[in-house]
Every structure is written in structure tokens, then in C-alpha cells.
Homo-oligomer: A and B are copies of this chain.
């Protein structure tokens, strides 16, 4: 008998009929002799409706109160599922974040889990009760309701799985698993049977919006196998596991694309100690998230600094950068919004040389100019002109042998 945590996202609980599907699947898992803990999101669209209500109530809704408001979404689905399971003859009980002792810090809207007591959940499991936990929500040490940010139910699920020492954590979603690339862009993309935590961490941050990145960090830290699969069919999905267990020995596991980036370059910045701090402090103070940063080698006492920011923050950042130019004595600020970042990811890179070379040659063959390059241990990212973005994904997908065989 295994202890299985199952998490169902917003599209899986979008209405009563879909919640009934969830109830059937949970019941089936229980019938097979397993203990089941279910984590639910709010009905798809409900969170947005609540945010819209809040925006009608206040131009700048208070963050603490926003969390109180948003927490109602998961409370609703959890109560409904528990009712259904009881009607079907199962022992079941809903638990809110504070009842399941999901303790977080007080960073409303984006709280981090500090600890999960889970003793009440464990007691119910011992009594053969299916526990339905409202995802996305927790409680800070002062007893205030907090939420974990978009996709936070994934983190709830993995963290509760870790606290309970569950055998596996199943994340049910509206896709069949993790793909080697976005099938909308790359028709030959195929589903991975397994992927390592580190690869998933890189995939998630680069736009494969299947799993909240923070949940993957948790899964890695506590070595919880995460099974990403569809709630609409019985097909096996993708197992996210430790590197050792990931048996598919691919050099590259996936090609990802991020089109939500704009590039800004400061030219001829005087190369002095502390100059990077002078450039990036004002940007950080304005809560603008910088992704890539590249500083070229010092030539004759000057350097060029290039970085990328989300497209929505481009104008604001350009204004700040123009002030920075004056303050630092740089030459000028150049900007480009029509860029995209293409990345190849794979733990296999660690043991295989030549991945970068294959990537650069492949892009060159189709006359795709590379604007920026950054690398990490298991990832190589190239910024290219936006118009070539989809083409770049397809040719790289083929070049690294990821295409389906049909």
C-alpha cells in the first residue's frame, strides 16, 4: 500500500462534472489499496474573477486581504470534492491551509513554505480517510492567511508529499506530460518518459508552464518523484526524478523558447569596480526582473553591458537606463524588443562535449544570427531575432535527435 499525493489544477476542477472525474480517479486510486491525499486548485477562471473583484474594490488592493479573498477559490473546490467522495461512500475530509499546518512566511501573494506540520493530515490517513487539502494557501506564524503565488498548488502538493514522506506526487494537468519542445511550435515534439529535477528546473524557468518552478526545487530537495500527467486520460505522463533515476540518456532533453524578453545594451561603460552595481541597483529597486546579463571583456577601459527584461517592463527600464547612462558616463543605451531566447537543456551535456558547437552550427545553417549567448552547466541559451524563434526551435529539435520517429 502506497501513500500517493494527487494534485489537480484549475482546468481539472473547472466545473461540477470535471470535479466528478477527479472524484472517480481519486476513488480508483483508493480502491487499489493506496492512501490518497488530494491537493486542489480553484476552478479555472475563479482566481481571475476574484482579482477583478478586488480591482473594482481598490486601485491597489491590500496584499493581506487579497490572499484572504483568493483563498476562497481552493476552499470551494476542496469542500465540493470531499462532499462527492463522501456521497460515493468514502471517508473523506477537506482541510484548509491552516488546518493542514502549511506554515509560510508573511510575503502575501508569494509566500514561501517554511514548514508543514501535517500531523492532522497524518492522523486522518491512519483512519483510512481521503484528505482533500486546499492548495495554494498557508498560514503565517501570526495566523494570517497567505497564498503561494500563481501555480502555488504544485508547491503545496510537493511540500505535503515531502512532509508525509509520500511514495509519489502526481500532478494532474491539461497536458499529457513534459515535451521535448512546445508541440504548437514543433509538431515533432515528443513526450519525455523521465526528466531530472535539474532539467525540469531549467525547463520551467524558460517557459514550459507545466510545473511551478518552486515545486521542482522542493521535489529535488526531498527527492520526491513527481509524475506529471493528464487528468483527461489514463496515459502515463512524465516522471520528474533525481538525475540517477532518469534513465533516458539523452544529451539534450528539450528545446525551450521564451519570447517575453527585451534586450538593452549600455555601450562604452567605464570599466571600474562597482559599475555593475551602479547599473543594476536602480533596476532592482523598481522590481524589474533582469534575466540574462552579459558583460563583454574590457577593451581600452570600457565595456559593453547587455541585459534582458520582460517585454512589459521594457519602456520603464529604458527610461531608467537613460539616467544610468548619465550617471555612469556610458556612451548610450540601445534597446531591442524583437528578440527571443532559445535554449537547449540536458544533464547529458555534462558528459558530452560539442553541444554548443552543434547548436551554433545548426542555427548558422539557416542563417539565424545569434545576438547573445549564455550557458550554465546543463543549458545553453541563445538570443535570436524574434522572427526566427520558432524556426530555431524546430531545427535544434531535429539536430539533437529529439523528433518523433513517425
Contacts and interface: CB of A to CB of B under 8 A. Distances in A.
A83 B66 CA distance: 8
A54 interface: yes
A253 interface: no
Q: How many copies does the complex hold?
A: 2
Interface stretch (A86-94, A243-251, A280-288): A86-94
Contacts of A20: 57
Interface string A129-153: 0000000000000011100000000
A80 B58 CA distance: 8
A120 to B, nearest CB: 7
Given A60-B87, A83-B54, A87-B59, A76 B65 contact: no
Nearest to A143: B99
Contact of A65 (B62, B65, B94): B94
A380 interface: no
A87 B55 CA distance: 11
A19 to B, nearest CB: 7
A68 B94 contact: yes
B57 A87 contact: yes
Interface in A48-100: 50, 53-54, 56-62, 64-66, 68-69, 71-72, 75-76, 78-84, 86-87, 93-94, 96, 98-99
A392 B348 CA distance: 91
Interface string A164-190: 000000000000000000000000000
Contact of A82 (B19, B62, B79, B94): B62
A58 B75 contact: no
A294 interface: no
A304 to B, nearest CB: 45
* Secondary structure type dominating chain A contacts: helix
A58 B81 CA distance: 9
Contacts of A58: 83-84, 86-87
B57 A16 contact: yes
Contacts of A76: 50, 53, 69, 72
A93 to B, nearest CB: 7
Interface in A97-148: 98-99, 120, 143-145
Contact of A16 (B53, B62, B71, B78): B53
Contact of A80 (B69, B93, B98): B69
A145 B96 contact: yes
A26 to B, nearest CB: 14
A54 B87 CA distance: 11
A87 B56 CA distance: 11
A71 B96 CA distance: 12
A355 to B, nearest CB: 50
Contacts of A86: 58, 62, 65
Contact of A83 (B16, B57, B83, B93): B57
A215 B321 CA distance: 62
B96 A83 contact: no
A98 B82 CA distance: 21
Contacts of A143: 99, 120
A180 to B, nearest CB: 39
B96 A68 contact: yes
14 contacts: A19-B57, A20-B57, A54-B80, A54-B83, A57-B87, A58-B87, A59-B87, A62-B86, A65-B86, A68-B79, A68-B94, A75-B75, A96-B145, A120-B143
Given A16-B53, A98-B98, 13 more contacts: A53-B80, A54-B83, A57-B83, A58-B86, A58-B87, A64-B93, A65-B80, A65-B94, A68-B79, A68-B82, A69-B76, A69-B79, A120-B143
Closest A-B pairs by Cβ, 4 of them: A69-B79, A58-B87, A72-B72, A68-B79
